[in-house]
Amino acid sequence: MNKLNPSIRYHLLVGLLFALWGFLFMFFVRPFNDETTGFFFWIRTSIGFNVITFLVYALIAVIQKAVYNKLQKWSLGFEIGTLVFFYILHTASTFVLYKSPLINGGYTFIEWNTEIMMRAAIVNFTVLAIARSYLIKLIPKKEDILTIKGDSKLDILKLKKSELICVSNAQNYVEIFYIQKNTLHSKLIRNSLKNLKEEFDFLLQVHRSHLINPSHFKSWENSNTICLTEMVLPVSKTFNKQLLSS
């Protein structure tokens, strides 16, 4: 997994369903043996453990959103680390309840971990990993917004990625060509092609003075010229093969 749905609302729903599953599992399976095993004992025990489950996962949801917002990325390593952190925190928290007067359990922490938590983790974490993976599909699709900045704070242009046609060199400036409401516009910004190519890696260089958004490529006019949306640009031999292969 290299993506994350950072929505706390969605993760709270997962936490609630995961806690409900845990309640049913504990109430019917009754994974540890105590002298007091009556109906009401297992009701309050199952509720207690899975309220903790929900609260721990809610905390994880808040932490992972903060991490994601700061780094603006996610990875398989982050995902595994999140599940491991949840396991550790969940195991420690439920053990505190297990040793409390509510249950007064006899397992040591090592026994609690190996006899109860590790056995349940095989099924529980498979379910949790699948649920977290499914949440990615619930992310609403948003069109990328590009922010092109110049030297000054006022020298800025924001537009949708799909609106950007090309960027052309204009001495100490670059000229941004874009289309909005079926009308071609342009704006000069004090920057360089090199900087914009590094910042927006989807742009394709076709000439030493031109970068294009490949989605606006229409056709070849001839071997040295291409047609874009509302524009025609030269293509140098240096970048000809790159454009043909894209």
- The per-residue pLDDT for range 221-231, each reduced to its tens digit, is 998 999 999 99
For residue 226, the cross-strand partners are 220, 233
How many DSSP H helices and E strands does the chain contain? 7, 10
160: left (phi over 0), alpha (psi -120 to 50) or beta: beta
Q: Taking residues 22-41, what's their average pLDDT?
A: 77
Is a pLDDT exceeding 70 seen at residue 19?
yes
Domain parsing of the chain, residue ranges:
8-138, 145-245
pTM for the model stands at 0.60
Position 34 scores a pLDDT of 52
191-233 pLDDT tens trace: 999 999 999 989 999 999 999 999 999 999 998 999 999 999 9
Residue-level length of the chain: 246
141: left (phi over 0), alpha (psi -120 to 50) or beta: beta
- CATH fourth-level superfamily of 145-245: LytTr DNA-binding domain (2.40.50.1020)
91-149 pLDDT tens trace: 999 999 999 988 888 899 999 999 889 988 888 889 999 999 999 888 876 668 899 99
**Closest by Cα among 183, 179, 185 to 163:** 179
